[in-house]
Structure 1
């Protein structure tokens, strides 16, 4: 439920109630208090069309520049409805002005915004370098990336170019800070190696796009339906802030694969997040002010088409990486199957490791000292048939010998 408190100059409140009557707002859903110092109109926004009511009031009365007027919209913590039938028939949806205010406040570049971005980037970079997942999660809690994405999405849906550009500029600021901090951390911390946390973001897959789509949808739905969105912001930050820092670390290591993979993942995540957020806002009925209706409809359609096309284009390399890393059988797996079949060693107790570097396969294993060399030639032939003749197979063999002493030998000695 939401309540609007509108203050007017003395005598204007009656004109405002006449406007509500023309909009067919139930007389039981508003109350007017008049006094010599001004009029106060209390409107219950639970049952009516919130945006239409606020639009008409804002069009008729100047709340922005006139100090004698004001408009406050808030959501009460507890509501005991006097009409349960109305409550059951209605569905809560945050009004447009509340969403716009949220987007503006949380995408404003000020000292707090910059400080949070720097701290989040430092924590995320160190978490990536140390391969410490809890530390990486900690950076997501304070990363200010949700507000700018909401600002971009709402700017598109409402045709508010100023709000959209504010979101773009704020997100670009976070990106710049995170990349620079990641670069500095990569240079300052000694002996930085490519661990699993960095490797995951070096090779993005289609699954990452689905995560971003789900996170964007959840974030937009939480805002427009009134659900608390702090945890949703953490999920969205998970798709953004560590990736930004990975790019900076990749630059410090001069690792083009890390930088390229990070940029691909970041671009895909951004597009998926904005696509999901815009889609949810649009489908849930977030509408612009009346005079921007047709302009906004054109912008939403063009933006959705452009974003969908970009997502499809980005999904092509992501699909290839997904196939290579998650679907296609790796050379190591094929060699293991051949080894199990030839040696009958299902548990691989005698196999130390298999290393594949380029077109070279090297097996490290224990074998009895009397194993015939011909057996390894057969194994090499089978591996080349499976992988291709261009592979070179090397065996690093540790020979083993079996000793068996007669019973009671210790006593005799």
Structure 2
């Protein structure tokens, strides 16, 4: 539910009430308070089409140009309606004006936005380098990069090109800042290694597209139903995971590591396109519509945008599908093998994994080891690996002997 406080010139309230009656608004859904300084009309936007009501009210009375009139829309914390059956039948969604206000606030480039992006980029970059998941999540929570995405899609469904441009500009700035911060930390922190947090973002999969779509749909649904994103936005920011990917690109640039740059760039593009597609679909099918005189223009923009996003996501699915196969059929077995070997040999410095080679269903594990390693010990390790890989692979150990030379 949302509530409108419309302030009119003294004596205009009666005219506004008559106008509401012509629109079919129930007398129980508004209250008029008259005074010498102005008339206050309180309207409950709980039933019916709020956008049509506001469109007609704003076209009848000039709230923007007349200083004696004002219009405030807000969302109450608690609602105890008079007619509960009527509420259940109503298909309420936030008013268009509330969504426009949210989009304009969250898509604007100002000092607060810039500083939050920089601070969250610093936290996220350090979290990636230190391989600290809690720090990475903390950086994502304060990152303001989801707001402009919602602003872009709200601009699309409302046919507002200015809002679209503002959102795109804000996102481009966020990407540039996050990549630069990541590159700076990658260059100046000594002995930076490729941590598991960085590796995850180097090899995106199709699952990442679906996660971003679900996250975007959740954020858009929360916004359109409540008029404000609420606490659910924090979860959406974490699930969408945009800022860590930007920072990974920057760290990859500092390394000169092409695989990291390309992989993270694919993931960033996939997350952006999936978020935009999901939020656009939710806004459109939940009935967010432009003002009547912009409807034709908005319909064209929505159709073109929908086609572009769908085709882009499909095209992006091809390389991500290849990476998914690589991740699950090559990288995952390698990680399991390395994990088992390290657990079994963790107390002995004289063993080291040189390489894990997968050829179809054959795995060759190359180890540096001293001459004391026994065949029975290797067979025990082989059995444990086979059990964890469901006996899908044949495993051979290639031992490179280590010989100590004393002088």
With the shorter chain as reference, the TM-score category is: 0.7 to 0.9
Question: Which residue pairs with 2:28 in the alignment?
Answer: 28
- 1:159–1:299 CA contact under 8 A, matched in 2: yes
Question: Which residue pairs with 1:409 in the alignment?
Answer: none
Distance 1:258 1:335 in 2: 23
TM-score by length of 2: 0.83
Question: Which residue pairs with 2:258 in the alignment?
Answer: 256
CA drift of 1:234 comes to: 4.3
- 1:153–1:278 CA contact under 8 A, matched in 2: yes
Any idea what the Cα deviations from partners look like across 1:123-163, whole Å, max 9, x if unmatched? 00000001110000000111001210110010011111111
CA drift of 1:90 comes to: 1.8
- 1:332–1:354 CA contact under 8 A, matched in 2: no
Matched, 1:303 2:310: no
Distance 1:279 1:173 in 2: 25
Question: Which residue pairs with 2:172 in the alignment?
Answer: 172
- 1:361–1:393 CA contact under 8 A, matched in 2: yes
- 1:219–1:229 CA contact under 8 A, matched in 2: no
- 1:332–1:355 CA contact under 8 A, matched in 2: no
Gaps of 5+ in 1: 337-346, 370-385, 400-413
Matched, 1:138 2:173: no
Gaps of 5+ in 2: 339-343, 377-392
Any idea what the Cα deviations from partners look like across 1:253-305, whole Å, max 9, x if unmatched? 11111111111110010000010001111111111111111211121111011
Question: Which residue pairs with 2:108 in the alignment?
Answer: 108
Question: Which residue pairs with 1:362 in the alignment?
Answer: 366
Q: Give secondary structure in 1 for the equivalent of 2:312.
A: helix
Any idea what the Cα deviations from partners look like across 1:172-226, whole Å, max 9, x if unmatched? 1111110111011111111111110101111111011011001101100111112
Question: Which residue pairs with 2:236 in the alignment?
Answer: 235
Kindly name which structure, 1 or 2, has the bigger radius of gyration based on alpha carbons: 1
- 2:330–2:358 CA contact under 8 A, matched in 1: no
RMSD: 2.9
Distance 2:333 2:85 in 1: 65
CA separation of 1:78 and 1:332: change in aligned 2, threshold 3 A: closer
CA drift of 1:167 comes to: 0.7
Any idea what the Cα deviations from partners look like across 1:284-341, whole Å, max 9, x if unmatched? 11111111112111211110110000000111000000011114587869999xxxxx
Question: Which residue pairs with 2:51 in the alignment?
Answer: 51
Question: 1:145-164 residue pairs with structure 2 within 5 A?
Answer: 145-164=145-164
Q: Give secondary structure in 2 for the equivalent of 1:296.
A: helix
How many residue pairs get aligned? The number is 369
Matched, 1:396 2:403: no
